[in-house]
């Protein structure tokens, strides 16, 4: 899944990025937070895709759990 513009902006705000006159600015800590939030969104998207394949058996559910565990 590709993040939408709206999702990226929401993640940037969540990471406490600043926006002024069309320019986003982030401190290193904010950039780290932004990257972690993007990775978490990607993991969750992949895990949901695995869960949607649950008609193939327990392996898909186990795979989804494994993907989510990568964030811990």
Mean pLDDT taken over the chain: 87
Q: If pLDDT is split at 50, 70 and 90, which confidence band does 56 have?
A: low
Cα angle: 26, vertex 34, 19; to 5 degrees:
40
- Phi, psi at 50, each rounded to 5°: -65, -45
- Average pLDDT on 36-49 reads 89
């Amino acid at each position: 899944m590709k993040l939408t513009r709206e999702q990226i902006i929401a993640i940037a705000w969540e990471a406490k990025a600043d926006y002024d006159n069309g320019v986003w600015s982030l401190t290193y800590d904010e950039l780290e937070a932004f990257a972690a939030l993007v990775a978490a969104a990607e993991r969750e998207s992949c895990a949901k895709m695995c869960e949607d394949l649950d008609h193939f058996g327990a392996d898909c559910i186990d795979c989804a759990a494994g993907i989510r565990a990568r964030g811990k």
